[in-house]
């Protein structure tokens, strides 16, 4: 079974797009555009797809905060009892402010600062996912200063091809991530010998927007083989963290159903455990598959600009609001919030930023007029979080819809806020 195209929380009624019980046109009119809109029921449905497949098994789910770190969104997951996966001290602060618990939080990332390590140790995070010997040394020193023992897992690089965009593939030898597979055993021995570290697990994350299960199983088989070797050296591995990366449907991709994916992974790990008489906890770190299709970006058409070679629809959202097309040539479906019966034309949908790379969709056939509101779909993951203030553009507002209620999850930035911390030279 594969994931459905988009989520049922986004549906049409008489040609008008609705987010749960609220019309997208009304949201645009009330809050202005560009506007990120999330559906609470889509968030919880994706969460339950993971959580229900984990129920009764030794498995926990940690929401990858980097995909969408809005406090209201994190709070939806925290209320469901979610764990979290963070990559900075800032993300830890967000998790705590959103009602998440440090003891359910794993700390990933290739370059943790000593201040971030201190903050995470003091808060009591569940595990540090460490990626190199110098990072182990640093963590050992910081934990020693605080008189604590840091729980650690090593992120190993299984050297498998996740068959995704090169910028979001992370499990190959050529990537900066993780401890090289051939060095992992020795690195575990080194970690086990450090007095202020407590080795508790192993992790890997092979990439993002992965639409097949096979690369995961290849990675897991390699990791399990390594676990046997590490344990034969006398280091016990309590948990295996399989990372995140499960893809979603943006266009015509056919990613596996979340529940099927979780069960396949757990079955593989449990079968290995049964063979050698050991059970281990399994961690998941999904981001995109929880939030990606739970969000859209609403934008208004400013001008239609016909050209000799191309027609452009210039909209009020830009690459600073949604960087994925410019950065990865990513596809996002784009559709008018209110359908028109007029003839459709083919447009490149572009923003007002002064860069030719500022596009949101290419060659889209749409019946639109200036002033129409468009919905850019599948924008809940790596959308707002990657937005910037380039061209001194305030970042968009974010709204979370819950049934018939719309809740402002983040106010639109003001220009004053953008340069509030800047100072002219003194006379």
The residue sitting closest to ligand LLP, measured at its beta carbon, is 287
Binding site annotation covers 286?
Answer: yes
Report whether 249 belongs to an annotated binding site. Answer: no
> 54, 127, 204, 354: which one is catalytic?
354
Question: Which of the stretches 61-69, 182-190, 220-228, 268-276 binds ligand LLP when contact is defined by CB under 6 A?
Answer: 61-69
Long-range contacts of 303-309 (CB under 8 A, 24+ apart): 303/370, 304/347, 304/368, 304/369, 304/370
Interface residue with ligand LLP among 20, 85, 91, 358 (CB under 6 A) is 85
CB of 243 to ligand LLP, least distance (A): 5
What is the C-alpha separation between 217 and 276, in angstroms, rounded? 18
Distance in angstroms (rounded) separating the CA atoms of residues 1 and 419: 50
In the complex, minimum distance from the CB of residue 56 to ligand LLP, in angstroms, rounded to a whole number: 23
Q: Tell me if 225 is assigned to a ligand binding site.
A: no
> Which has the closest alpha carbon to 364: 394, 338, 332?
332
Is 204 marked active-site? no
Q: Which residues contact 325 (CB under 8 A, 6 or more apart)?
A: 319, 331, 332, 359, 360, 361
Give the tokens for residue 230. 């590490």
For residues 313-325, b (16+ Cβ closer than 10 Å) or e, as one string?
Answer: bbbbbbbbbbbbb
**Is residue 22 within the footprint of ligand LLP (CB under 6 A)?**
no
Asked if residues 117 and 139 have their Cβ atoms less than 8 Å apart, the reply is yes
CB of 153 to ligand LLP, least distance (A): 11
Q: Which is nearer to ligand LLP, 312 or 328 (CB)?
A: 328
**Residue 74 in contact with ligand LLP, rule: CB under 6 A:** no
Q: Contacts with ligand LLP in 187-216 (CB under 6 A)?
A: 205, 208-209
15 vs 111, beta carbon nearer ligand LLP? 111
Bridge partners, residue 400, by sequence: 38, 407
Asked if 168 is part of the footprint of ligand LLP (rule: CB under 6 A), the reply reads yes
- Regarding 244 and contact with ligand LLP (CB under 6 A), the answer is yes
CA 307 to chain centre: 37
Between β-strands 105-107 and 150-157, what pairing exists: parallel, antiparallel or unpaired? unpaired
Q: Which residues inside 118-157 make contact with ligand LLP, applying CB under 6 A? A: none
Per rule CB under 6 A, count of chain residues that contact ligand LLP:
22
Using rule CB under 6 A, residue 46 touches ligand LLP: no
Minimal distance, residue 341 CB to ligand LLP, in Å:
35
Q: If you search the block for the tokens 């990372």, which residue do you land on?
A: 243
Please give the sequence-ordered ranges of beta strands (E in DSSP) within 7-149, or none if there are none. Answer: 10-13, 16-19, 22-23, 35-39, 59-64, 83-86, 105-107, 127-130
Residues 325-344 that bind ligand LLP (CB under 6 A): 328
Q: How far apart are CA 421 and CA 393, in angstroms?
A: 16
**Per rule CB under 6 A, is residue 262 in the interface with ligand LLP?**
no
Q: What is the Cα 109 distance to its own chain's centre?
A: 13
Residue 247 or 336 with smaller CB distance to ligand LLP: 247
**Pair type for strands 16-19 and 10-13:** antiparallel
Question: Contact region for ligand LLP (CB under 6 A) — 120-128, 217-225, 268-276, 282-290?
Answer: 282-290
Least distance CB 303 / ligand LLP (angstroms): 28
Helices 89-97, 114-123: crossing angle, 10 deg rounding? 30
- Which residues have C-beta within 8 Å of that of residue 281, sequence separation ≥ 6? 58, 59, 60, 238, 239, 240
Q: Is 64 in the site for ligand LLP (CB under 6 A)?
A: yes
Which residue in the set 116, 285, 358, 398 belongs to the binding site for ligand LLP (CB under 6 A)? 285
Binding site for substrate, by residue number, is 288, 324, 328, 355, 382
Please give the positions annotated as active site: 354
Binding site, by residue number, is 245, 285-288, 324, 328, 355, 382
Query: Which residues make up the interface to ligand LLP (CB under 6 A)?
Result: 64, 66-67, 85, 108, 168, 205, 208-209, 243-246, 285-289, 324, 328, 381-382
């Amino acid at each position: 079974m594969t994931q459905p195209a988009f989520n049922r929380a986004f549906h049409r009624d008489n040609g008008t797009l609705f987010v749960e019980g609220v019309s997208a046109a009304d949201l645009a009119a009330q809050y202005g555009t560009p506007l990120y809109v999330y559906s609470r029921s889509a968030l919880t449905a994706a969460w339950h797809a993971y959580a229900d497949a984990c129920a009764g098994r030794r498995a926990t789910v940690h929401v990858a905060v980097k995909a969408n770190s809005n406090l209201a969104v994190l709070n939806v997951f925290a209320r469901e009892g979610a764990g979290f996966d963070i990559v900075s001290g800032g993300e830890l602060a967000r998790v705590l402010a959103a009602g998440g618990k440090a003891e359910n939080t794993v700390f990933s990332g290739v370059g943790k600062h000593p201040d971030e390590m201190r903050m995470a140790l003091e808060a009591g995070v569940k595990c540090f996912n460490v990626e190199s010997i110098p990072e182990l040394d640093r963590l050992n020193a910081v934990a020693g200063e605080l008189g604590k023992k840091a729980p650690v897992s090593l992120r190993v690089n299984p050297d498998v091809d996740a068959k995704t965009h090169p910028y979001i593939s992370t499990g190959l030898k050529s990537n900066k991530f993780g401890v090289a597979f051939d060095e992992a055993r020795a690195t575990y021995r080194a970690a086990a010998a450090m007095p202020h570290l407590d080795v508790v697990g192993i992790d890997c994350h092979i990439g993002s927007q992965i639409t097949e299960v096979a690369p995961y199983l290849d990675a897991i088989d390699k990791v399990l083989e390594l676990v046997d070797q590490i344990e034969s050296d006398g280091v016990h591995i309590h948990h295996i963290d399989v990372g995140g990366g499960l893809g979603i449907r943006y266009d015509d991709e056919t990613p596996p159903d979340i529940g099927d994916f979780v069960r396949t992974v757990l079955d593989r790990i449990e079968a290995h455990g049964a063979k050698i008489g050991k059970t281990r906890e399994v961690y998941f770190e999904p981001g995109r598959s929880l939030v990606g299709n739970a969000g859209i970006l609403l934008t208004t058409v400013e001008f239609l600009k016909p050209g000799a070679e191309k027609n452009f629809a210039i909209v009020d959202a830009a690459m600073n609001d949604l960087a994925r097309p410019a950065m990865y040539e990513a596809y996002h479906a784009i559709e008018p919030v209110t359908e028109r019966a007029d003839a459709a034309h083919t447009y490149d949908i572009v923003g007002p930023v002064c860069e030719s790379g500022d596009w949101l969709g290419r060659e889209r056939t749409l019946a639109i007029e200036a002033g129409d509101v468009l919905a850019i779909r599948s924008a809940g993951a790596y959308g707002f979080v990657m937005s910037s203030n380039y061209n001194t553009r305030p970042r968009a507002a974010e709204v979370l819809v819950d049934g018939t209620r719309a809740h402002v999850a983040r106010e639109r930035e003001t220009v004053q806020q953008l340069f509030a911390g800047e100072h002219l030279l003194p006379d």
